[in-house]
Amino acid sequence: MDLFWILLGTFLISLVSFAGLAVIFFREKSLEKIIFILVSFSAGSLLGGAFLHMLPEAIHEGVDIDSAFILVLIGFSLFFLLEQFIHWHHCHRLPSEHKHPVTYLILFADAIHNFIDGLAIGGAFMVDFRLGWITLFAAAAHEIPQELGDYGILIHGGWKPKKALLFNFFSGLTAVFGGLAAYFLASKINILFLLPFAAGNFIYIASSDLIPEIKANSCLLKNLKHFVFFVIGILFMFSIKIFFE
């Protein structure tokens, strides 16, 4: 059953790559508002998932605190390395706002990122069924605005909509391979160590990629709205913790 839930969960997260379809159905002004609300909510969800679920579960299941926080630093640093050496970061801009399209690079980098998401989801399902779905939700929350941004890059780079969606989906499918890797690694390593590692990934994405975008607005009212949705993301993860306990 673990393998079934891992395959289902990682395949569902790969389907988020079709979020770019929203660009076709919404006007850019409306979509811009939606994107930054999603970015705010997903930043809170990622931090809530990391600090309220993944880290406590790892420590509760036997990972000592020192090892847990070392693995958080490793996970955090790995995403910093990705951004530094392949010049990739989460993008939440619309097609008309892209100035320097880097189509194949973004697909390659996103494939690596999705593989790591798959590792996190697979590892969480191997530890606890409920934690797997919580991790899946946190990953999906930040993937939706991310995939909108990726689609915008591909369209601005001259790709046709169908081709952009298809290749974006292919890069998303690496999450399935990440989930399978977690499943087969479980017999060789302590899969619990993937939880703080993934928590470090989530903390980096929230603090380095998402929060800077939602706090850069000069309008105080918009900043306040973004903060409210950020807190809602945290409270949502907290409510799940209370419900499951």
Q: Which of 226, 208, 209 is nearest to 217 (CA)?
A: 226
Would residue 111 count as lying in a domain? yes
Block mean pLDDT (10 aa), the chain, length 245? 90 87 68 78 91 92 92 91 65 47 70 87 90 90 76 74 87 93 85 89 87 77 88 92 76
The angle at the Cα of 236, spanning 231 to 241, to the nearest 5 degrees, equals 125
d(CA 44, CA 39): 9
- pLDDT digits over 161-188, tens only? 888 889 889 988 999 999 999 999 887 8
State the pLDDT at residue 245: 59
State the pLDDT at residue 99: 44
DSSP string, 54-83: IHHHHHHTT--HHHHHHHHHHHHHHHHHHH
Measured in degrees and rounded to the nearest 5, phi and psi for residue 88 equal -125, 140
Q: For 219, which DSSP code?
A: -
Would residue 125 count as lying in a domain? yes
Would residue 11 count as lying in a domain? yes
Whether 90 contacts 209, CB under 8 Å: yes
Would residue 244 count as lying in a domain? no
| Residue 79: C-alpha distances to residues 82, 90, 202 (Å) | 5, 11, 9
Q: Which ranges constitute the DSSP H helices of the chain? A: 2-15, 22-25, 28-48, 55-60, 65-86, 103-127, 129-156, 161-172, 174-185, 194-204, 211-214, 220-244
pTM greater than 0.85: no
Would residue 218 count as lying in a domain? yes
Would residue 135 count as lying in a domain? yes
Would residue 163 count as lying in a domain? yes
Q: How many domains does the chain have?
A: 1
State the pLDDT at residue 21: 75
Please state, as a whole number, how many other Cβ atoms lie within 10 Å of the Cβ of residue 236.
18
91: left (phi over 0), alpha (psi -120 to 50) or beta: beta
Would residue 245 count as lying in a domain? no
State the pLDDT at residue 50: 92
**Owning domain of residue 83:** 2-238
